[in-house]
Structures are given as structure tokens and as C-alpha cells.
Structure 1
Amino acid sequence: MRTALSEHDFGAVFGAIRDCTGLSQTQLAALVGLSQARVSEVEAGARRLTGAKLAARISSVFAVPAQLLGFHVDNADPAVGSLASEEMDWVNRRDFVTLATAAALGSRLHPELERLAHVLPGRLNSVTRPRIGDADIDAIEAISDGFRRWDLAHGGGLCRSAALSQLHQIAALDEGVCSPNVRARLQLATAELASMAGWLAYDIEDHNAARRLWTYALHTAQCADGNLRSTDLMVIILLDMAHQALHLRQPKDAFAFCRLAAATSTGRRHPVSHITAGYIHTVTAWCWATLSEPEPTRRALADSQTGYAAASADTIPPWAWIVTEAEIAAQQGHALYLLSLTHPEFAEPAAARLTAAADGHPAEHERSRAVVLPTLAVAHFRAGDIDSAVRIGQDAVTAVTALSSQRCYARLRDLDTVAARHRSASGVLELRADIAAASAV
């Protein structure tokens, strides 16, 4: 191996890694950012990899010491890919997609995966609990469900710290004694809570914390491979990562997470539910819409609708209670809204779907309604209905200021940017003043 590394004979390196880990060529390709065909050519000796950047990437992914690849190292730590620093910027780190891919594949080849519990945001408090049973897992699941309901009603700001504290307590239970079935349930329940904590962090725009938590959740869910819920949860976590990437205006990363979600949905022991399959296509539609591509967006929305329609009352899993008709309308309307930013003809259909979502969300889902309203107001501006835009914009200000969701305030700022183009219209000046006052609080 040392000889192969020093000569950059990555065909031998790839073959040895796959022999030891059981990775397929497709999985290894996903880790290092190559196509399966390219990996096959390299292993067969038909092609060589000579780029320094690619060599460095392979070094980072597989924790190969830099000297073995011919790189000079000045610091005392010769390892490339030592990424455990708690101060690392998880939003801007270049290898985040690679790290998420490694977690989803369960390859255990990325040096950071086994240390994720130590880089969670906040402090890890020790818990003494020698034995764990099914009742403990029931309680953890109820905790996650409670945080989800709170977020839907009020936003993530007020319960994020509580969720993180609970996660630290529950992560420490991994040292407890339990049966294999309880262990699998514990892993999945821990992953579910970490995923929820990640979403709460995202909702208050703490993007670094969200990415740490989601990566930990993804890795932990992957370890619970035998659980029926594991694949669904992994895919949803990856789609949450795509959701965040779009919010951060990183469409390339969003597409990468969508592709990984699609591959994960079909490449594991248990297939995903129809609900999750529909959501994969929904987020893919958002990606295409962000790139101003109407036809791929339409196709993805049609595939999404097919997936949701295939779900029947006896096949919808209990955790999918959050996927209501109003939520599906919001998803579709958001895709059309994104298209309307460059193709105004989509503004009216976007407004129609977003109106259905806003009207359909119950009172206990007020945060879901509030995040829709600013986008709906923008859609009316784009469609030329200024009166409706101002009226709904005022509703948005009222709804958002009653919550603790920084994401909703980001939508208000987007609304203000569009409203500024219509500053001379009746009511727009007052609307912008109200948005400014709300944002200053």
C-alpha cells in the first residue's frame, strides 16, 4: 500500500480499500467525487489519477498521511483530514458533502465519523444509567415528537437549547446495557432527536450547529440499519441538508444531497415510504427551480405528486403525520415561487398553491403558515396584484413576530427587497416600515 501511495497508483489503492470494506465502485466513487466508470478504469489500469487536488481529496477522505502521497507537512500532525476541531466552520468546510456521503454509506472510512458525539454543539453532560429498556426509548421518541410539535407551532428558538440538552443526555446512554433490539431502537431514537435538534438550529439560522447535528444524526441512523425507519430517516436528514443548502444559496450542494438521498433510498435493506419518495422529488424540484429550469421542475413535481398519491391510509407510517395536504401544497407552491423569480408566468399558480397552504395549516402549525406568508406576498407582487401582496405582507409581519424563527425573518427580508421595487404603490411604504420595525427587534 505504501508503494502504491507513493507512486499514486490509485488503482491498487482503490482495490485494497474495497477489498477491506466491501464498498462497491459506485459507493467509493461517491466518496471521492468521481464517476463509477472512472473508478473502474483506474482499478483496471486504463486510467491514472494525477491531479494534486484529487490526491489531496482522497487523502482527506481515507485519512491517508500526507507524506505517503508525497506531500510536505510542516505541522506536528502528519495526518491529512484531521477535522475534529470544535471551532471548525461547518457551513464553509469544503468536505461537508463528502462527510455526509461517508455517513450515509456507513463506510466508516472518514476519520471524523466516530468522533461526532464529541463535536456536537454545547457541552456533553455525563449520565449514569447502567441498563436501558423499551420504556426509555418510548420516552425519547415522545420527547422528539414534543419538540417537533413545538417547532411547528412556535419555531425553533425557544426549545432549541432544551432539545440540545436532551440530546447530550441521551447520547450518553450509548454506554448503557441493553438488548440488541433496544440498542437499534436507541440508535434510531437518538438519530431522530439529533435530526430534530438540527432542524431547530437551522430554524434560528445557526447553520454550523445544524450541520454538526445532522451529520451526527445521519451517522447514528445508519448504524441502526436493521430498523424499518432507518432509511426514511437518513433520506429525510439528507433532504434537510439540501433544504439548508438552498437557503444558503448553494444549489450545487443541494443537488448533491438530493442525489445522495435518492441513492440511499434504494440502496439499503429497507426501502423508503411513498411519502419520503415524494419528498425526494419535491426537493429536487426546488433545486431545478432555483436554476430557472421549468421543464425539469415540472417533471420533478409530477413525480412528487405520484409518490404522495401512492401512499394509502394503511401504508402511511405514523411519523408522517406532519405531511398534510397543506404541507404538500406549500412544497409545490415554493417550487413554483422559485420559478416565478425568473419566469413571472409562474407567479399566479405559485400564489394559488401557497394560498391553499396558508389557509390549510391549522393553528398548531402556525410556524409552517408563517414561513409561507412572505413568499405568498412576493408571488402576488410578481403577479401584479399589489393590493393582495400588501395585505398578505402585513399578515406575514404579524405572524412572524409572534414566533421564534429566524428563517421566517429571512423570508420577510426577501419580501422587503421585492416590495422596494413597488415603493410608489399604495400601502407599500407602510408595509416596508413594519418589516423594518419587526426586523429591528
Structure 2
Amino acid sequence: MNTAGDDPRMIIDPSVWQEPETRAALRVRDIGTVYRQLKRHGVSQRRIAALTGQSQPEVSEIMRGRQVMAYEVLSRIADGLGVPRGLMGLAYDSPRVASCAGPTEGESDVERRGFIGLVAKAAVVGLSGAELDSIRVLHQATPMPGRIGHADVSNLETTVQFFRAQDDQFGGGAVKSAVVGHLEWATGMLESPAADDVRNRLRIALADMHSLAGWVSFDLGAHEQANRHFANALVLAKESKEHALASKVLFQMGRVYLHQKEPENALKIFQLGQMSAQDANSHRAVALNLAVSAWAHAEMGNAEQTKSLLAHASGELSRDNGQDIPTWLNFMGVAEIEGISGMAYTALSGHDRSFADLGIQHASRSFEMRDESDARSRASDLIAIAANNLRAGNVTEGIRAASDVLPRLDSVRSTRLMDRLTWVRQATNLHPSSGEARELAERITELRSA
């Protein structure tokens, strides 16, 4: 392949960037290796210099081992050579402003003095908007390890667990950007060399992280984005033959359809989840999909199927020995069964208010069994308790539960919970003569419109 020698008007053949050695060098921003690869394809130092805005001696120094670290210089190199920015972990839309990383390649004494002057001004009187913009920190992706080992995957697994705990406590709105950003970086690990067992473990960890990214997206009402993450998680879980994780992902995907009032589609997904749970020989995963299948039947008003499936789910969970539970199924226990049962009977009481007492009983048990750190689930339980009490005619208890949950939503950023407040809002209509019920309805309307 010849890429037109010294002629700067000719673009670099894009196929160069797809060669494994070049891609590996771009991923870790080893510009010296990139330049040497170009030279091997007939691109002269003179042409590289012309395309990148560097001097020929600079290019020569880089080829001999000088490191390029400054984001601005890396961006100029990528744009000049026509390298897709994603291959170097560079943002596609970052404005070209100065970073505050101190002296870098090409920085003059004048620029250094100007930067120090800005620091002095910031310390004494503060900076103007334009000056603040000039020191805005630019995105700079972290290079991938040269080879992935078990320690790297273990770090990723720990990160997923941390984000999941934050999501449970503070809602998807508190962690979505961090989860999706870390996932974008971690996905690049698949391109790094690794032993077969490490690579399989990495796929499982990435599947789990896609599962979490989908869940936090769902919590914020980004349903299409959620399902894309779930689909990626499912593919990775199946590739790794991790059937229990695949089952959990299908449970999550079905929950999206359930929230969108499509119980028939949700049931189809839950049935697929049940198949994966059986492939995994996991009583816990089977119980999970049985419980949400009951919820789907409840949304359709099928009381007998709901009760039968919930009883079956409890029976399956009781057969689980509680050993070797994967982290992604840790949440599935008696409290989760009670919580889903509370949701199912809340759905049924929307068709027949005689089921409201069962909704209250299950949601109350779920609330009492959960730790304070499981703040979103406890708030969801309170919403069910409030709605069912109002449906059962227990106005005082319903308003008390609703008054308990509303302040909690200040610290749990969840569109999903805000949507569920409509159950309470609609139930207040059953009590038109109650001033407290009307006041509660107004508070909910105001909160949901904020």
C-alpha cells in the first residue's frame, strides 16, 4: 500500500487505521508507533509534519520515542491524519480550548505566564466567564492496559457493584452518566489481548454493566436506550453461557414493557427469561421471572393466574440453597418477592379494589424487610401502600403513606417512581369530599410537573 508519499493534498488511506498494530497503538496513543506504521506505508516525515502542523524535527523526535501527551496536540494529529477520533479515545465535539494541565508540547513562555496569571487572578479576585472557559478541563480518555488480566476484570466488577448500590439508594438519575461513561471506556477492553478465561470473565462483567446501564436508563424514562443496553447485555451473557445473567436481563427488559402498559409483550419476554433461568438451573432466577409474570397477568386483571404464579415463585425461592449467588442476583430474595407481590396486587386493585388489602400487606412487608440503603424500592413500596389504602377507603393511612414518600423523592432521582405517583393521584379522586385528598393530589401534580 502506498499512501502518496510527500503530497499533503492526498488523504491517508483509511484502511491503515484498521490494521491491528496501528489500532493498538492508537488506543494507547502511542504516536511514535503510528508514525512508524505510516512510514512503512510510504508516508514521509515531511508529509506527516504538513498534515499535523508539526515541524519535521518534531515528527522525527516522536518517531524516536518522544511521548505526545497533550490533548490539543493529539486532537490536531488525529484531525490532520484523518484518524477516527474514537480510535484514540478523543471526544468528537470537544472545543479547542486550553487545558489546565500545565506546560505541554508547543506551549510558549508567554502562554505559561498567561496561565500563571490566570491562576493568580482566580486566587485573589476570581475569573470572568471567558477566562473560566479558557481553563475548562478537556475530556481525555484513559488508555487501555496493554494486556487484560483478572485484576482488571475484578476492578470492573467492583465498579459495577458500587454503581448498582448507588442506583438503589439514589436512583438512576444520580449515576447514569457515570455508568454509561465508564461502560464506554470498559468496552474498549475487549480489544486488548487477554487469556481465554479472562476474556470470558470480562464479557460477563460487561454484560452486567450493560444490564445496569439499561436499568438506570429505564429508571429515567429512556426506554429505547434501556432496551439497547439490555440487548447488548443479553448478547454478551449468551456468548459467555451465563444463563442466569441472561435471565435477569430479560426480566429487566420485560419490566420496561410492563411499565409501558404492554403486559402481553412483557409476558413474552418473561417467558424467554424463564427458559434462560431453567438453562441456568437457578431457582432464584426462575422465581424472579415467575413473580414478574404474575405482575403482568395482574395488569391484565387475571387474578387467578396472578395468585398461582406468585405462590409458585415463593416455592421456587424456598428451594434455593442460598449458596454461590452471583452478584447480579443478590437482590432477589424474600423482600423482592414481597415487593413484586405488592406491585401485582396494586395492579389488580386497579381492576378490583377488593385486592387493595393484599397490596398493602405485601408492600408493607417489603418495606419493613428492606435496608434504608434500598431507598428506591422502599419509596416504591410506600407508593403502593398509599394507593391501596386510598382505594380501600383508608384515607388517613393513604395520605400518611403518601406524605412519607414525597420527601423521599427529593433524594431519589427516578422518573419511574414519579410515574407511579399517578396511582396515588388517581386514587385521590375516589375521595372528592376530602380536603386532605385534594391537597395531596395538588402536591403530586405540582411535584410531577416540576
Using structure 2 for the length normalisation, give the TM-score: 0.67
The aligned counterpart of 1:262 is 274
Cα displacement (A) at 1:400:
1.6
Secondary structure of the 1:166 match is helix
Aligned counterparts of 2:281 and 2:428: Cα–Cα separation in 1: 41
Aligned counterparts of 2:352 and 2:305: Cα–Cα separation in 1: 14
Aligned counterparts of 2:328 and 2:250: Cα–Cα separation in 1: 17
Secondary structure of the 2:409 match is helix
The aligned counterpart of 1:363 is 372
The aligned counterpart of 1:248 is 260
The aligned counterpart of 1:220 is 236
Aligned counterparts of 2:447 and 2:363: Cα–Cα separation in 1: 23
Larger radius of gyration: 2
> Which amino acid in structure 1 is aligned with residue 159 of structure 2?
I
The aligned counterpart of 1:77 is none
The aligned counterpart of 2:39 is none
> Which amino acid in structure 2 is aligned with residue 133 of structure 1?
G
The aligned counterpart of 2:389 is 380
Does structure 1 retain, via aligned residues, the 8 Å contact 2:244–2:276? no
Aligned counterparts of 1:135 and 1:392: Cα–Cα separation in 2: 46
Aligned counterparts of 2:377 and 2:92: Cα–Cα separation in 1: 30
Aligned counterparts of 2:300 and 2:322: Cα–Cα separation in 1: 35
Secondary structure of the 2:429 match is helix
Does structure 2 retain, via aligned residues, the 8 Å contact 1:144–1:192? yes
Structure 1 gaps, min length 5: 1-116
Cα displacement (A) at 1:313:
3.4
Cα displacement (A) at 1:319:
4.2
Does structure 2 retain, via aligned residues, the 8 Å contact 1:329–1:357? yes
Aligned counterparts of 1:350 and 1:247: Cα–Cα separation in 2: 18
Aligned counterparts of 1:316 and 1:413: Cα–Cα separation in 2: 36
> Which amino acid in structure 1 is aligned with residue 223 of structure 2?
H
Aligned counterparts of 1:164 and 1:220: Cα–Cα separation in 2: 17
> Percent identity over the alignment?
26
Question: Which structure 2 residues correspond to residues 13-24 of structure 1 after superposition, within 5 A?
Answer: none
Cα displacement (A) at 1:315:
5.2
The aligned counterpart of 2:344 is 335
Using structure 1 for the length normalisation, give the TM-score: 0.68
Does structure 1 retain, via aligned residues, the 8 Å contact 2:203–2:240? yes
* Closer, same or farther: CA 123–291 of 1 in aligned 2, 3 Å: farther
The aligned counterpart of 1:307 is 316
Aligned counterparts of 2:226 and 2:189: Cα–Cα separation in 1: 22
Aligned length: 315
Does structure 2 retain, via aligned residues, the 8 Å contact 1:397–1:412? no
The aligned counterpart of 1:294 is 303
The aligned counterpart of 1:70 is none
* Closer, same or farther: CA 255–354 of 1 in aligned 2, 3 Å: same
Q: Is 1:165 matched with 2:181? A: yes
> Which amino acid in structure 1 is aligned with residue 269 of structure 2?
F
Q: Deviations over 1:365-418 (max 9, x none)?
A: 111111221121111112111111111111121112221111111111231122
Higher relative contact order (CA 8 A, sep 6+): 1
Q: Is 1:420 matched with 2:404? A: no
Q: Deviations over 1:270-326 (max 9, x none)?
A: x24211110010011011111111111111111100111111233544543323433
Structure 2 gaps, min length 5: 1-85, 94-140
Aligned counterparts of 1:260 and 1:143: Cα–Cα separation in 2: 29
Aligned counterparts of 2:329 and 2:198: Cα–Cα separation in 1: 22
Q: Is 1:140 matched with 2:156? A: yes
Aligned counterparts of 1:324 and 1:278: Cα–Cα separation in 2: 9
Secondary structure of the 2:351 match is coil
Secondary structure of the 2:147 match is coil
The aligned counterpart of 2:147 is 131
Does structure 2 retain, via aligned residues, the 8 Å contact 1:273–1:316? no
Cα displacement (A) at 1:123:
8.0
Cα displacement (A) at 1:259:
1.5
Q: Is 1:390 matched with 2:399? A: yes
* Closer, same or farther: CA 294–432 of 1 in aligned 2, 3 Å: same
Aligned counterparts of 1:314 and 1:394: Cα–Cα separation in 2: 40
> Which amino acid in structure 2 is aligned with residue 223 of structure 1?
E
CA RMSD of aligned residues (A): 2.1
Aligned counterparts of 2:379 and 2:277: Cα–Cα separation in 1: 31
Moved more, 168-177 or 122-131: 122-131
Aligned counterparts of 1:217 and 1:313: Cα–Cα separation in 2: 25
Does structure 1 retain, via aligned residues, the 8 Å contact 2:341–2:362? yes
Aligned counterparts of 1:123 and 1:137: Cα–Cα separation in 2: 28
* Closer, same or farther: CA 123–221 of 1 in aligned 2, 3 Å: farther
